[in-house]
Every structure is written in C-alpha cells, then in structure tokens.
Amino acid sequence: MSNRNRRTSRTDPDRMRDQRAQEDKTVVFLGAGASRADGAPLQGELFRDYFRHYNDQRRASIDHNWDRELATLFDVFFGINVDTPDSVNHAFPTFEEVLGVIELANSQGETFRDWGTSQATNAQQKPRLQHIHDVMILLIAEILDHKLRGNATHHPRLVRSLQDAGQLRNTSFISLNYDILIDNALLGAHGLDLDYTVEFVNTGHGWRKPRTAQSVKLFKLHGSLNWLYCPTCRAMRITPQEKGVCRLKWRPDDCVCSKCQTLAVPIIIPPTYFKALSNLYLRQIWHAAEQALLGCRRIVFCGYSFPDADVHVRYLLKRVEVNGARTPDVFVVNEHADKDATARQAEKGRYTRFFRDKAKIHWTERSFEDFCENPASVMEVTA
C-alpha cells in the first residue's frame, strides 16, 4: 500500500465522524417560557413586577425622573396610580398593548394631548412619546436585571448536559429573549467560545474572537441586553456577562461611543406587532440563523407557544421548510404545571397548521426543566 493510501485510510474514520456530526445538527429555539423557568417575568407580568421594584426603590430613596415619567403615563393613559400601596393588584395592560399605541402614534407623526412637548434626554431633544418609548425599552432591561441576578440554574444545566453527552458542538441556539441566561451559560462551557455571528468593536479588548472550530453559535433574533449600538458609526460593543443596556439609565457616560462620542442605544426589538428588523446586525443574524436551520436535522422549541403574531419567525421557518433539502424534525418542549387543556390544544393547532410535514412534529409532553436535565430524552430521532 502506498504512503498516500495509508494516509487516506487513517483519515477515513475522522471524515466519517465529521460527516455524522454534520448530519446530527440540532437547533434549540428558546422562547419566553425558557427564561421564565429561571425567573424571568412573562410579558403580562412586566409592568406589575417593574412597579413593585419601583416602589421598593422609592422606599429606599432611590429615584430617577424616568420612573416618574412612566408613572405619569400609566396614570393618564390607563387610570393606574402606581404610587398607591395596592397598585400591584391592578390589571396592567400588556407590554405589547402599551408600546403598540405609542409606536403607532410615532409612526404616523401624531401625539396625544399634552404629550407632544420635547424632553431633554442625554443632551438630545426628542418628542415626549419617542422618549417614553425608549424608556420603556430600558424598563425591560432593568426588571430582567433585577429578577435574574444570580438566579439561573436551568440554562447552565442544559449546557452542561449537552456538553457531557458530546452534543454541544453539534447544537446551535436561537433565542427570542433579550436576557443573557443562555449567553452566560455558554460562556461557562469548558473549551468552547460563544459566537453571535457578528463582530464587536471591542473584540480583543474584553471580548475574545470566537475560534471557528471551537465555538457554539447563538442567534439572538430580537437583540440582547449586553449589546450597545452606536447609531452614528454603526459600531456595536458587547458587555460580556453584564446587561450593559442598564447603564444607559444609571451610568450613561459609560455608554458613549469611543470613536464618535455618540450615546449608544440598545438593540432590542420589543414585543409589538410593529417589529422593525432593519438594523444591519440583526439582518446578519437572521440570515445566519436561516443557514443554521437549513443545515439542521432537528429543531427543539423550548418555552415557545408559536404565537400567530410572530410573523417574522414564521416567515423564517417557512423559508427553511420550503427551500431546504430536507425537512427537520420538530420537537415541542413547552409543558408546565399551570398549562390548561385549552391552551395546550390551541398551541398544538398552531404548530400543526403551520408545518407541512405533520409526521415530523413531535409532542414531548416535557417541560424546559426536563429537557435541561436530559436533552437526549427529547432529541432521539429515528433515521
């Protein structure tokens, strides 16, 4: 046998292992229910939790004029006086309801009585409703930072379980959540780097460029609380393991772009029907997520009820289903103790109506916590 043939025979097993790994790709899709398992509030709980936190801060003499502006908004628009002791018992509107009204007014160049005057915001003049819109985005950051500080157990367990089973390298993650629960869990994975598939201006200075062969991809389709974006020079900075967006409220000087001295803004797509996905980084992330989905064998939806309003997500998945060479198996991991039969049936209906190959949809009857403990029990698929 020639030296060339001997070299080829020695590499064949490696080539076969690489091929099997390529064929065994998994994409784990994380919805709000996954973050809820580690303590994040759902959309309908955001305002109640925020104003409970707001009143705790007031009692501790910690005050910010942005909080007072939000308090005024809820009093004038919804008849809720958040300064009263029983305010947390009110039926608060959802985040989508409040932001939807504000975004529609802003998009049409309209306002409400006494809400059209300008506000000084970090040396920039903005219409009052636009300023309130920005403050509400930061409200998400603050309440998630308060609720999730040091509480995560399930996301780290999921990463450890996948790594122990030798599956983490073959797994990518798509998250619709702004929190950094899965981010920090992946940063703790031994020997692997976290790859958001975008470049950060501070790479090499507090953030290491991910090594191609030793990284796990995380696609955050709606933005992240550890990203600060400069709208002037279009540079993005990451604040690893920290929700850097919170600095915009309490330490804005830390959020000024070092290149052009412009105040950074969050990249956060709020939960409304008017989702603007025009940011160049988000476009890049959505495209990379599509490529990962096209190459996967299975998609595991965790804590995601597949709402009809998520049109962009549905479009992404339909592109993958119609344009892909094969249809991935779909596993739904969204069981929890409080789910009633009506909600479960409605959820099944949404998944079944949407996906073309009904035989590829698998109802696991497992919770996100179950999946984190034993991912293999969900992801076993016959060839």
Q: 56 near 63, Cβ under 8 Å?
A: no
Amino acid at 211: R
β-strand partners of 265:
229
Q: What are phi and psi of 363, to 5 degrees?
A: -95, 110
Least Cα distance to 243 among 153, 181, 175 occurs for 181
Could you count the other beta carbons within 10 Å of the beta carbon of residue 258? 11
Using alpha carbons, select from 94, 74, 96 the residue that is nearest to residue 274.
96
Which residue type is seen at 97? E
Q: How far apart are CA 76 and CA 212, in angstroms?
A: 53
Residue from 298, 280, 278 nearest 174 by CA: 298
Q: Residue-wise pLDDT tens for the chain (383 aa)?
A: 444 444 444 455 444 444 444 467 999 999 999 999 999 988 878 888 898 888 888 877 888 889 999 999 999 999 999 888 777 778 888 888 898 899 889 889 899 988 876 655 444 567 888 889 889 888 888 888 888 887 789 999 999 999 999 999 999 999 999 999 999 999 999 999 999 999 999 999 889 999 988 999 999 999 999 999 999 999 999 999 999 999 998 899 999 998 889 999 999 887 765 566 778 999 999 999 999 999 999 999 999 999 988 899 999 999 999 999 989 999 999 998 888 899 999 999 999 999 999 999 999 989 999 999 999 988 764 33
Task: Indicate the pTM of the whole model.
Answer: 0.88
Q: What are phi and psi of 216, to 5 degrees?
A: -120, 130
Give the Cα separation of 206 and 188 in Å (integer). 16
Q: Which residues of 213-244 are buried (b: 16+ CB within 10 A; e: fewer)?
A: eebbbbbbbbbbbbbbbbeeeebbbbbbeebb
Name the DSSP class of 324. Answer: S
| Cα–Cα distance measured from residue 376 to residue 372, given in angstroms and rounded to the nearest whole number | 10
Domains and CATH numbers, the chain: 15-39+152-199+208-222+269-379 (3.40.50.1220), 43-148 (no CATH), 225-268 (no CATH)
Cα of 270 vs its chain's centroid, Å: 10
